[in-house]
Each structure stands twice: as structure tokens, then as C-alpha cells.
Structure 1
């Protein structure tokens, strides 16, 4: 153990490898992982400077958790590592994080109750309706994409990747057609607000709150409308859901709307883009998948998610003095769980830098590290990817991709634009 590990947080030296600076997150995924690989190879955890902040704070730094097994351990022990003090790597008041993250900033048993409330709205009937809507939307979106592709080069993200997730969310909860573009932009912009294309550093905090207000307002207004005039849709089911005598308030539904629109939209969009690129870059993998699409798409989707790792990290805080990987961690200290590093951990995955649809087992961390906060929408993401790639791969001609333009973000592994044309 390094004696500095047990020193007061304010007296510790920051690790020589800086993973907090914006310049680090401007690097490509592979070169960043070369740094994470060096951190994974060191004993214990490593201590790092706070990320640049938009808000006043007194955070002394954070522990970087880069190994698959350590992330799984922390994720499965909420009694030792809490979400209630915030889940952002960037220093941000927890009071601001809670309304933008809903039950992600809760621990059991409160988290369990809210998760059960939301889950109870997804009845078999609702799931069947959602699947039918996704299948129809996927076919229509691919029709439009192929027509655009036939007319000349298009942007894959704008013409394909972003469309299905937002239509899915909109159909599920009843967002009116006229409001869908504003909601989709707000969700995308919240995830990518650190990118200069969306807002300058000086504008970033107000920009973030503006997008949050659009999403939260859409949710509360829709919830109030469904209370007055219920329909046979998911939002009406969420409004009526009850567990142990508790129902969601309109404010809580607004917070859920923020989570659903941002996490449910952007993560599937990014996985679509990364998965599409990987299949074009590895044509033998695409051919293998098409030989038995129905039998192989389940495992393929898991590899799409692992390869993309659309959410790069979440944070926890130690509840009490404890230890992780031989490193003493004091009560209240932040630990950042880097899922991007876990998904390239050679001790957990064979040849993790290779895109391999035959990978089995595939214990990836693309939906989190397991435990209470395992992604509630994993089933929905899998369904969308399965249905969209079925339409794509069975109908699409050979294509040529241009260079992707990536989102500059320390939170989302995102592709902003990627040109594609027929071969």
C-alpha cells in the first residue's frame, strides 16, 4: 500500500496520469484506454484531481476505479458505497443531480420502491405494444434512411441513429409530434453539454438547466394531462402505478422523464452508431451474423453495447471507512466507476480490444456494474437494437463510412456525425 493512500484527502498527491482534464477526454477512446490500462496495472486505486467544475465546490479529488472486479464489488454493495451523495464525476451539487437523475441518486430501500413503481407500469400488454411500435418505427426509419442513401451521402447519426430511440420514448409516453424534436435536442444536449458546439464554458451551466427545464416540464405537463384524461398508454400507467401505498408525484414523473429521455435516448443512439461502424469495419462479423440472425443477434447486441460503452462512468461515495483493492477509502470520499475501462479489462474479458460478435461469456459493464442500479431500460435498449439491426442488415447495400466526429465529453462516448454513402 502506498502511504499516501491513507493520508487525509487534502494532503494526497494526485496521480501523475491526469484523467480529469478536458484535454484527456478530447483524445480518442483507444488512446484514453492506454492510460486506463496503466492505471488498471497498478496496485489498488489511484487518486485524481477533481474534474473542472461549473459550480463552487470543495471536493478534494476522487478514486479512479478502473478494474472490472472492483466496479462490480462497489456496485453490489450500496451499504458501503452510496449513490445519494451524487453520481457525477464532475463536481456538481447533489441537489442539482437529484432532479436530473431521479432514482439513480437513491439507495435501497428508497431506490427499490421507486424502481418497483416504474417497473410496475411495464405490464406484458405495454411491453407488447412497445415492441409493436418499435418494429413499425424501425422499418419506417430504415425505409427513409435507404431512400436518403440512394440520393447521395448522408449523416448516419441524423438520418438513422437518433431517430428510433426518440420515437420509442415519444410513443411510449405520448409526446406530441410537434414537441418531439425539442425534446430530442434537449436530451442530446444535456448529455453533451461539455462539447463547445452546444455551449461555451461560460454558458454551460445555464444551458444545461435550460435543457433540463424543457425535459422536466414536458414530463410534468404530460403527467398532469394524463391524470385528467387517462389513455391506454405508458404515461397513464405510470401515473396510476402504486406500490405499498405510494404513487409518483408529477414532479417525480418529471424527473423520470428527464432520465428516460436523456439516458433512454442518447445511449441507444450512440450504441447504434458505434455498432454500425464496427460492422462496416468488420465485414466478416456482419456476414457471420447474417448467417443466423435470429440465433446470433442476442449475443451481438451485448457486444455492440460493450464496444460502444455509451456511458463512460458513474460515481459513488463511501458510506464509512472501508477498503477497495487494498486501498483504504475514507467515509465521504468519491469513487468514479469507469465502465469504459472495465469493458477493456483483460482480466475479465478475452482480447477486449477486438470486436467479436461470438464473444461468450460477455460480462460487460455497458449497463452498469450490476447490483441495484443495473440499467432498468436494458431490455428496451436490447429490443430496439435487435429490431433496428434486423431491418438494416437484411436490406442495406454495402456502404462506405467517412471519419466520425466525436462528442467532446467526459461522460458519453458519442458520435456527433458520421458520413455514409453507398459503395
Structure 2
């Protein structure tokens, strides 16, 4: 063990490669991964300075977990690495993280109970209804997109396609009033893109973040109260009625779930759609291969869409007690940041990880997390949306040319803000 590994956090030297500053996250994905690739080759974990604080909260730093194997280990041992002390890489009080992330900041058995509560609302009947709604929405969205393309002018794919399906899906599932959908979608996008100066300057980000949270939370609590008195045949009615071990969700808890669903369920699928469409347009041979047997091949293709895009770049854990990860001594209470973006380009876990390849047969990606108790609850929904939407896109949209994408400046979301598309 090196002196750095055994030193107290307050005196430990930060690694020479700074992956915490906004300037690092302003670089493109491949450029950033050249840095992560260096970290993956180093023995053990590396210690880094905290990102600039937006909230009045200070932290000593964090351990960067960059290899697929180590991320899986930390993710699958909640008894050693807790989520209850916070999951944000950025310095942020846990009192603010809990209401904005709901059961993501819980450990088993509490996390298990809440996960079962939410899962119990997804009956086979609800899932069948959701699938038919997604199929109809996907067809309608692509129809609108084709009408826009027919003018010959450039069309923003993100605004016209990517952002529409997940929000319509969530709105249909839980019954958001159509008049409120845009406001909810914009709040979700802005909340997790708040590090981008297009949304808010640094001095305004804490206030801006909480304002977006308030919009989403109020939408959820208001709808929960309404469904308790006026139930419908929709998911929100099922959620407020769900019961596990004598426990039901309160209106405040439903509001917190709404924040999670509107952000995690909306923005992640949106980003995967944009990145995957760009990748397929740039690789026509792979698009043709997929279309030769779409039903049989789309499952593996969707996994590559998610790996390639890695919409969520990281989450954090804290050590419950003194322990070891990859030969590095971690002290109780210290933060570990799990960089899924690095795991999804780890050469020891994936063949040719810098190549987009929908034909790959070994795809142990971390796009839905590192496994364990916090494996993405909405993975099935994301896969369903991508499968149904890309069926419409690939079978109906003619050859197009892409403009250069504009990316969200964020250390949390791998996002595309705008991407011009024009019919060839």
C-alpha cells in the first residue's frame, strides 16, 4: 500500500489527472476517455479533488472507480458501500439529494421495499397497455418528423424525435395532463443539465436546480392527491394504491418518484435515441444488417445503443467501514464515484469498446448501472421504447445527412442538445 492510500483524506494528494473540473467535462467523450483509459491502467483506485461546489457544502474528495470489474464489485455489495450518504459526484448535502433521487439514496431492506412497491404497479395488463401506447406514439412522432423533413429544411432531431417519445410515454403512463407535458419535460431536462451554462450560470445553479425540482415534485404530489380521490385505469392510480408489507407511498414519496421518473425515465432514453441515430446514420452497413432481420437483431442492437451512449455518466457510493477495493484501502465514510462511461470503454471487459458494433455478442455494459440492488428499474421500459421507435425510424425514414451535434455540458448526463437532420 502506498503512503497516499493510507493517508487521511485531508492530507492525501490528489491525482495529477483532474477529472472534476467543468473544463474536463466540456471535452468530447472520446477525449475524456483517453484520460479514463490512463486511470484504468493504474493499480488500485485514484483519489481526486471534489468538483466545484454549487451548494454550500464541502467535501475532501473521492475515489474514482473506472474499471468494469471494480464498478460491479462496489455495486453488488451494498453492505460495504452505501447509497444512503449520497449518490452525487458533486458536493451536495444529503438532505437535498434524498428528495431529488427518492429510493436511489436508500439501501436494502428499505430500498427493496420501495422498489417492490413501484414494481407491483407494473402488472401484465399495465405493461401491455404501455407497449401499445408506445407503439402508437412512436408511429405518430416519426410521421410528424417525416412531414417536417419533407420541407427540405434542416430539422432538429432532438426536438422533433428524441425528446418526444419518453415524455409522452411517461405522461401516458401516469396521466400527466397534455397541457403540462412540455413544462414537465423541460424541467426534467434542465434539472440534470443545470451544469450547462445555457440553463444557468454557476452562481445561479443551486437555485435553478431546486426550482426545476419543485416543478416536478409538485406535478407528482398534485397528481397523487387527485388519483386518490379520482382513480383511473392508469399507472399513477396503481402506484398510489400499491401496498407492500402494509406500506403505501405517501403523496410526498410519489412526488419524489415523479422527479426520478421524469428525469431518469425521460432524459436517459432521449439521449440514447440521439446517440444511436447518429451512429446508425454514420454506419449505413450496420443499419442494413439490422433491417435484414430486425426482430431477431434489435435486442442486441439496443444493448449497443445503450452502451455506446452511456446516458448516465456516473453515480457515487460511500464506504460503510474500512475496506479494500482493487488493493486500495478505503476508509469508512469516503466517497467512491462509479464512472459508467469508463466501464463502457473498458478493454478488459469488452472487445473493441471504441467501435460502435450492433453485431457484438459479448456486451457486458454498465449502461443500466453496475448490477446489484440498484440495477435500473426502468431498463425494460427503455429497451421497449428504443425497440419500437427504431423500428419506425429505420423502416420509414429515408437517407438523411446530419449536422454536427451540440452536446450538453454536464458531468452527469451524456447529452445531445441539438442535432440537425436534412433529407439527402
What range describes the TM-score normalised by the shorter chain of this pair?
A: over 0.9
Matches of 1:376 and 1:300, distance apart in 2: 20
How far apart are residue 360 of structure 1 and its match? 1.1
User: For 1:153-207, what per-residue CA distance to the aligned partner results, in whole angstroms no more than 9, with x for missing partners?
Assistant: 1001001100000000000000001000000000000110000000111111111
Q: Name the SS of the counterpart of 1:202 in structure 2.
A: helix
How far apart are residue 2 of structure 1 and its match? 2.1
Matches of 1:302 and 1:179, distance apart in 2: 32
1:217-232 to 2 correspondence within 5 Å?
A: 217-232=218-233
Tell me which residue corresponds to 2:90: 90
User: For 1:71-124, what per-residue CA distance to the aligned partner results, in whole angstroms no more than 9, with x for missing partners?
Assistant: 000000000000000000000001100111000000000000000000000000
Are 2:140 and 1:127 equivalent residues in the alignment? no
Matches of 1:59 and 1:206, distance apart in 2: 20
* TM-score (norm. length: structure 1): 1.00
Tell me which residue corresponds to 2:275: 274
Matches of 2:149 and 2:249, distance apart in 1: 44
Tell me which residue corresponds to 1:373: 374
Matches of 1:138 and 1:58, distance apart in 2: 45
1:107-146 to 2 correspondence within 5 Å?
A: 107-146=107-146
User: For 1:182-238, what per-residue CA distance to the aligned partner results, in whole angstroms no more than 9, with x for missing partners?
Assistant: 000000001100000001111111111110000000000000000001011100000
1:297-336 to 2 correspondence within 5 Å?
A: 297-336=298-337
Q: Name the SS of the counterpart of 1:10 in structure 2.
A: coil
1:375-394 to 2 correspondence within 5 Å?
A: 375-394=376-395
User: For 1:134-158, what per-residue CA distance to the aligned partner results, in whole angstroms no more than 9, with x for missing partners?
Assistant: 0000000000001101112100100
Matches of 1:264 and 1:183, distance apart in 2: 12
Are 2:19 and 1:23 equivalent residues in the alignment? no
Are 2:203 and 1:202 equivalent residues in the alignment? yes
Matches of 2:274 and 2:402, distance apart in 1: 11
| Unpaired stretches in structure 2, ≥5 consecutive residues | none
Tell me which residue corresponds to 1:32: 32
Q: Name the SS of the counterpart of 1:58 in structure 2.
A: coil
Q: Name the SS of the counterpart of 2:316 in structure 1.
A: strand
Tell me which residue corresponds to 2:54: 54
Matches of 1:4 and 1:264, distance apart in 2: 40
Q: Name the SS of the counterpart of 1:287 in structure 2.
A: helix
Matches of 1:80 and 1:231, distance apart in 2: 42
Between stretches 356-365 and 318-327, larger displacement belongs to 356-365
Matches of 1:267 and 1:330, distance apart in 2: 33
User: For 1:22-66, what per-residue CA distance to the aligned partner results, in whole angstroms no more than 9, with x for missing partners?
Assistant: 000000000000000000000000000001111222311000000
Matches of 2:58 and 2:32, distance apart in 1: 27
Tell me which residue corresponds to 2:397: 396
Q: Name the SS of the counterpart of 2:10 in structure 1.
A: helix
Q: Name the SS of the counterpart of 1:17 in structure 2.
A: coil
Tell me which residue corresponds to 2:242: 241
How far apart are residue 288 of structure 1 and its match? 0.5
User: For 1:371-414, what per-residue CA distance to the aligned partner results, in whole angstroms no more than 9, with x for missing partners?
Assistant: 00000000000000000000010011000000000000000000
Are 2:159 and 1:158 equivalent residues in the alignment? yes
Question: Following superposition, which runs of at least 4 residues in structure 1 exceed 6 angstroms of deviation?
Answer: none
**Cα RMSD over matched residues?**
0.5
How far apart are residue 254 of structure 1 and its match? 0.1
Matches of 1:192 and 1:54, distance apart in 2: 14
Tell me which residue corresponds to 2:351: 350
Tell me which residue corresponds to 2:182: 181
Matches of 2:376 and 2:88, distance apart in 1: 16
How far apart are residue 303 of structure 1 and its match? 0.1
How far apart are residue 349 of structure 1 and its match? 0.2
User: For 1:249-293, what per-residue CA distance to the aligned partner results, in whole angstroms no more than 9, with x for missing partners?
Assistant: 000000000000000000000000000000011111101000000
Matches of 1:24 and 1:238, distance apart in 2: 41
* TM-score (norm. length: structure 2): 0.99
